[in-house]
Amino acid sequence: MLFPTLTFGLFFLVAFVVVWSAPSNEWRKILLLVASWYFYGAWDWRFVPLLIFSALGNWAIARGLEHPRFAGHRKTLLLSGVALNLLVLGFFKYCDFFIEQLAGTLTMLGFARDIPVLQIILPIGISFFTFQGISYVIDVYRERVPAARLIDILLLMSFFPHLVAGPIVRAADLVPQFQQKPKLDRSMVSMALLLIVWGLFKKAVIASELAVDFVDPVFADPTAHSAWDLIFAAYGYAVQIYCDFSAYSDMAIGLAALFGYRFPRNFNQPYRALSLQDFWRRWHMSLSQWLRDYLYIEALGGSRGGEAKTYRNLMATMLLGGLWHGANWTFVIWGGIHGGVLAIERYWTAHAPKERRKLPDWAKLLITFHVVLLAWVFFRAPSFSDAMTYLGGIVMPWRGPSAFTATPLILLLIACGLAIHAAPQRWIGDVAVRLRTMSAWSFAAALIVVMLVIDAMRFEGVAPFIYYRF
């Protein structure tokens, strides 16, 4: 069930009315939970029990961590909780990948074996709800949050606005909100609806049009396109993935707000970053903070232990972050590019003479953006060989066609997507304040007009969000 569809719109309207009509906060949470399971089950009902099992397992581990009887076994319980989540994630997401790698390695060594691939269906959003479970049991172990009631943990991991593509909302931020009766005022409504409409525009108009009419065809067959097509398709994908993923986050934040809950911001104009470290402070912030807190610092030790270990930990974090996105070497290479450049930046800051570090901001922005752009080619390409073919078509343009096929509309959409980053950072808040002063009828009329305009501009049909497959 995709957000920008009539089916989801009807589902949300029913859920909104039913949930706000609940006689108590407990009933409200139960109804939200049922709605969330229905939302997840609309994709495939067979995996709803997996979602429930994951939440039950994390709830039981957390309760055990606080029980006096298990005081001497807290670390064992923690490791069990982390292992439970990783086993669920590993089986569904990486089992076939490792079987294929094992078969290839055995063949290369002369021990060819016919090892059957299981062809496991990947549950949508599994990376997000398992990471949510890991952070919860670690926070309970570190006594950052108390173990919560079962209904709250079930809802934490199943709440449909963030279930399939984030943001990764931590228990410390969301569970206390579940424990209080939420309130909905005009300020929240205006901001929520503005975020939803803005997300709908970015997804349905910019991201979908770029994907279907330009980016997908070029990446599908780079040898049939000119170097200029390849260059502009890389820029187009950078715009597409930002507009696609930030659109989902905006809509998720807005939908949650209409139920009275606040999600953290997930994007902050990432292509305005002046370094790769700055980029990760702006891009998919809930994931980057998760990787920093629970993997880089908690598991690997962060910057403790000297300079060499710091670089190792940076690289390991980004390689694992790449693998988190999917069972493909292209994602590992994407993470390796980011990890390597992050390590170089840290070394340069620590050791380069000050006079050599003084680049103008525009140069820092261009360098950072094009490092990200290079990594996106590997992220988008179906395989490593496809990515190398793509890059080869850019550096050796004489080998391919010379025609430039991007239409003026495509160029306009790329420019529009990049221009979004030049807008004042508080513009949505400023517009929401103005909307609050409008009468209810004027507000509704303006909303209907904008929705009709977006519907007229949108590409026919809606492709799934890119991050649904992670």
| Token pair recorded at residue 257 | 């707000």
- Report, in angstroms and rounded to the nearest whole number, the Rg of the chain calculated over CA atoms: 23
CB 238 within 8 A of CB 205: no
- Dist. CA 309–CA 223, nearest whole Å: 42
Q: Is 125 left (phi over 0), alpha (psi -120 to 50) or beta?
A: left
Find all residues with CB under 8 Å of 212, minimum gap 6, and list them.
459, 463
- Maximum Cα–Cα distance across the chain: 76
Annotated active-site residue in 325, 351, 370, 421:
325
Residue with tokens 């807290």: 74
> What distance lies between CA 169 and its chain's CA centroid?
12
Q: Which long-range contacts (CB under 8 A, 24 or more apart) does 425-428 make?
A: 425/268, 425/269, 428/191, 428/194, 428/195, 428/198
Q: Is 325 a catalytic residue?
A: yes
Q: Which DSSP helix (H) or strand (E) runs through 33?
A: helix 25-41
Q: Is 260 left (phi over 0), alpha (psi -120 to 50) or beta?
A: left
DSSP string, 281-334: HHSSHHHHHHIIIIIIITTT-TTTT-HHHHHHHHHHHHHHHHHHH-SSHHHHHH
- Dist. CA 291–CA 284, nearest whole Å: 11
Q: Which long-range contacts (CB under 8 A, 24 or more apart) does 429-436 make?
A: 429/191, 431/194, 432/187, 432/190, 432/191, 432/194, 435/190, 435/193, 435/194, 436/186, 436/187, 436/190
- Dist. CA 165–CA 131, nearest whole Å: 12
Per the document, the length of the chain is: 470
- Dist. CA 141–CA 5, nearest whole Å: 41
- Dist. CA 233–CA 249, nearest whole Å: 24
- Dist. CA 225–CA 401, nearest whole Å: 6
CB 439 within 8 A of CB 177: no
Q: Which residues are catalytic?
A: 325
